[in-house]
Amino acid sequence: MTTMNIEKKLEGDTLTIALDGRLDTTTSPDLEEVLGASLDAAAALVFDFAKLDYLSSAGLRVLLSAQKRMNAKHGSMKLVHVNDAVKEVFDITGFADFLTVE
Amino acid sequence: MLSLAAQLRLRLLVLVAVSFCLAAWTLWKGETMRAERDVRALLELNYRDVSRGFTDRADYQLVSIARDIAARFGSSGRLATEDAAKICAEEEVAEIYDVDANGVVVGGSRLVGSYMGAGAQSAEFLRLLEPDGPETLSQPDRPRTSDGKVFKYAAARFPDRSGYIEVGWSEERFLRFLRQRAYGYTRSWHIDERGWIAFVDAGGVVTSHADMSLAGKTLQEATGLDPATVPTGTLFRATIAGAPMFCYAGPVRDYLAVLADPVEDAFASRDRFMPRMAAVLLAVFALLFGCVSLMLRHRVAGSVQRIGEALRRIAGGDFGGRADVRSSREFSELSDNINATVAALRAASEDRVRRIEAELELGRTIQRAALPADFPSDDCFRLAASMEAAREVGGDFYDFFPLGETLRAFLVADVSGKGVTGALYMMNAKTLLKDALMADPAHDPAAALTHANAELCARNPAEMFVTAWVGVLDLETGRVAFANAGHNPPLRLREGAEPEWIRGKSGCPLGCFGGVSYKPLETALAPGDALFLYTDGVTEAMNPAGELFGEARLAATLSAAGSREPRALDVAVHAAVASFAADAPRADDITILALEYLAAPDRRLKTFPCDAAAPAASAAFLEETLDAGGCPPKDKARLLVALDEVVSNVVRCSGASGLAVAVRFAREPRGATVSVSDDGTPFDPLRVPPPDTTLAADDRPIGGLGMLLLRKTMDAVSYRYAHGCNILSFRKDFG
């Protein structure tokens, strides 16, 4: 079974979420649930994709939804340690245009 | 036909002969005229002499009398009248005058004391009194001044003193003298050797002739000429005593002189001269003929012959042949003109050949370009095909292409026409068949033939048709669905069995009758079986004896090939046909397509219930399978994303009860193909338009991104609906 570990860390008003595994149809509801619970407290959101193998369009949906919510409250969102497979998906879908990837 | 040289020589001979005759005739005519002129002059001269000599003698006679008397009485003083009468009688003169130095008659027969200068006639003699005057004088007979009687006078000076004696003949005496003279006057007068002069008196009687035996006869009797009608003062011809004569007649006093000279004598020199002249002429003309004919042969006929040889070579198709005769300016120009013409012809001919070749090449290029050359070969099946075009562009073609993951279409066809038109028709037929097979979700060959036939019949201005054998092999099962539009039956080759004809027919050739349906047919291949398709160029190849290669030889060749590998079969049949046909010209294209079914695809298949667990379960199956198949991690990630997109769609939207995921690996190029089948609502997700990826985050709709990712990351994506299932396949070549 595909699984994903989600590591959540709040420092001040910066929420850092590190993903380990795959962000796909099966795992993205888990991330959605985590975000839904903790995003209200954060002014800045950081995704650490160092251990993320890949993501599918289900994962993109979650990222898009997070970006919209952060935009709505004028917060910031950025992605760090993004690997090539994930970057490729961002490029193909045009997400690279509005996501902040470091 | 005589050669040009012989013709020219013949003409030259005629010309020279005519010239010779003309020259000889002219010479003859000239000589004749000259002889006639000469004889005329001769006769005229003789006439003048005979005419003058006739009366001159009278003058001489009378002057002699006067001179005698003058001598006798020169010193004795005056001539008394009695003495004068005596002397007159002696000398037979009518009158004597003794004239003194003053021109006064001092003695004589009459008129003593009168002056001689008183009358015009007697005054003429006064010239004798002049110191340097003549010794004697005579007058023609004429009427005298005093009484009008005709007299003839002559006078002679005295030898020892001034003065003269004049004597006169009466007319009667003078005429008597002439009469006497006329008799025999011309007897010893010859013109040339045999010419003569006849003297004829007023009565037409001959008085004198070279032959005096004729004297006394009339001229008519003597010569046959009539003195009354004989022409005078002109030369004429007459036959006298059997001999042709040149004649001339003229009056002498009261007589007629007829002069004659034998024509033979007149022309003697001409007749002597002419044969020699003719011989010389003949020699000259013969020499001329010889020289000119030699020159003709060398300069003209020889040149013409060489020009002719050059032209024959050129006419024989040797455009490299050149005319090069430089014997004269004309032949040089002729040679140049011929060479220029040949050069132009050669250029035009080469240009035409080039254009025809270019068009044929265009046709061949169209034909070749339309034929796929990358023959598939994998674990499941391999295929080889070839098309050997006849010299002209033919209309054969073959084609093969995959239909989805497991179906392989292949076909062989033969268009009735040739050339560029045939090639274009073939292109059309090929495209129609491929499009029809690909567009038909069931990929049914019979339906494709029906569709292509309708299209071809709708627009067939060239009235061409095409036979075709179309098959679709299902790699999973080895079943071959096929349809045959009037084409040669293929052969199935199986290990340990004789080649087997697959003779089913679905209908007539394409393009003949619109609106007909083609019957679907089916056969089956077991792993290891081969199928051999061909066009009639194989079975109808002809050997030099006119025999056809035929089906039996084809079957025997395939049986003896000892292999079912498509390339080997192709080569074996081509070799057999080539060896059979030997050097007989190839009439038709030879097209072959052979395929060998090796095995069903090597793949893994797993079915899953269509529920929320399906994405994770199917992803686990794929990951395990890809790991076993040696898939690189990066491609594995892409394939897993793709599977996640497809399966999540199926689970979310299709309403299917279950789904199946099949994975098949390919060796060349190395890669994997994943097929996801579901029994849900028929839906082709590939038809959903791709989302706008340029929108900002807040404007982005959710959805459509999965299919976009699928398309962008996979090397091939296809959808079909078959056997009640949506089948979506995607392939990733390992990079």
* DSSP result, A58-73: HHHHHHHHHHHHHHHT
Q: Which helix or strand (DSSP H or E) is residue B12 part of?
A: helix B4-73
Return the residue of A nearest to B651 by Cα. Answer: A25
Joined tokens for residue B289: 């003929």
Return the amino acid letter for B300. Answer: V
Query: What percent of chain B has pLDDT above 70?
Result: 97
Q: What is the pLDDT of residue A2?
A: 54
- Which of A22, A58, A94 lies closest to B693 in CB terms? A94
CA distance linking residue B384 with residue B564, whole number of Å = 11
- 8 A C-beta contact, residue B704 and residue B653: no
* Tens digit of each residue's pLDDT (9 = 90 or more) over B348-362: 888 888 887 777 777
pLDDT of residue A18 exceeding 90, the answer is yes
Can you tell me whether residue B540 is helix, strand or coil? coil
pLDDT of residue B11 exceeding 90, the answer is no
Average pLDDT over every residue of B119-136: 87
- What is the pLDDT confidence band of residue B303, given thresholds at 50, 70 and 90? confident
Residues 640-669 on B with a CB inside 8 Å of A are: 640-641, 644-645, 647-648, 651
Average pLDDT over every residue of B428-455: 92
DSSP symbols for B215-242: TTSBHHHHHS--TTT---SSEEEEEETT
Average pLDDT over every residue of A24-53: 90
Q: What is the pLDDT of residue B72?
A: 82
- What is the pLDDT confidence band of residue B393, given thresholds at 50, 70 and 90? low
Q: Which of A77-81, B80-84, B193-197: highest mean pLDDT?
A: A77-81
pLDDT of residue B300 exceeding 80, the answer is no
- Of B414, B733, B382, the residue nearest B528 (C-alpha): B382
DSSP annotation of B729 = E
- Asked which of B447-456, B636-645, B662-671 is least confident by mean pLDDT, the reply is B662-671
* ipTM of the complex, rounded to two decimals: 0.91
pLDDT of residue A50 exceeding 90, the answer is yes
State the Cα torsion B538-B542-B543-B548 to the nearest 10°. 80
CA distance linking residue B248 with residue B48, whole number of Å = 11
- Which of A22, A56, A61 lies closest to B702 in CB terms? A61
CA distance linking residue B267 with residue B32, whole number of Å = 7
| Burial category of B71 from C-beta neighbours within 10 Å (exposed 0-12, middle 13-18, buried 19 and up) | middle
Average pLDDT over every residue of B291-301: 79
Average pLDDT over every residue of B454-483: 88
Average pLDDT over every residue of A33-56: 89
How close A63 comes to chain B (CA, Å)?
10
- Which of A2, A56, A61 lies closest to B620 in CB terms? A2
- What is the pLDDT confidence band of residue A49, given thresholds at 50, 70 and 90? very high
Which residues of chain A lie closer than 8 angstroms to B700, CB-CB?
Answer: 64
Q: Which domains are seen in chain B, by residue range?
A: 34-177 (3.30.450.20), 183-266 (3.30.450.20), 373-597 (3.60.40.10), 603-733 (3.30.565.10)
- Of B534, B316, B481, the residue nearest B308 (C-alpha): B316
Q: With an 8 Å Cβ cutoff, is A94 touching chain B?
A: yes
How far CA B572 is from CA of B36, B87, B150, in Å, comes to 110, 162, 149
- What is the pLDDT confidence band of residue B1, given thresholds at 50, 70 and 90? low
pLDDT of residue A1 exceeding 60, the answer is no
Q: Average per-residue pLDDT in chain B?
A: 87
Number of separate helices (H) and strands (E) present in chain A: 3, 4
Joined tokens for residue B321: 């042949």
pLDDT of residue B724 exceeding 60, the answer is yes
pLDDT of residue B399 exceeding 90, the answer is yes
Q: Which helix or strand (DSSP H or E) is residue B338 part of?
A: helix B329-369
Q: What is the pLDDT of residue B120?
A: 82
| Burial category of B669 from C-beta neighbours within 10 Å (exposed 0-12, middle 13-18, buried 19 and up) | exposed
* Tens digit of each residue's pLDDT (9 = 90 or more) over B22-62: 988 998 999 899 989 999 999 999 999 988 888 888 889 89
Number of separate helices (H) and strands (E) present in chain B: 17, 27
How close B627 comes to chain A (CA, Å)?
15
Query: Cβ B648–A2 below 8 Å, yes or no?
Result: no
How far CA B732 is from CA of A25, B408, B510, B623, B661, in Å, comes to 21, 19, 39, 14, 15
- What is the pLDDT confidence band of residue B391, given thresholds at 50, 70 and 90? low
Which residues of chain A lie closer than 8 angstroms to B702, CB-CB?
Answer: 61, 64-65
Domain positions in chain A are: 4-97
Sign of the C-alpha dihedral, residues B434, B437, B441, B443? negative
Average pLDDT over every residue of B525-532: 92
CA distance linking residue B368 with residue A94, whole number of Å = 43
According to DSSP, the β-strands at B142-143 and B150-157 are: antiparallel
- What is the pLDDT confidence band of residue B85, given thresholds at 50, 70 and 90? confident
- What is the pLDDT confidence band of residue B677, given thresholds at 50, 70 and 90? very high
The CATH class of the A4-97 domain is: alpha beta
Q: What is the pLDDT of residue B602?
A: 67
pLDDT of residue B93 exceeding 60, the answer is yes
pLDDT of residue A41 exceeding 90, the answer is no
- What is the pLDDT confidence band of residue B75, given thresholds at 50, 70 and 90? low
Q: What is the pLDDT of residue B437?
A: 93
How close B617 comes to chain A (CA, Å)?
6
The residue with tokens 């996801």 is: B676
Q: What is the pLDDT of residue B351?
A: 87
DSSP symbols for A78-91: EEES--HHHHHHHH
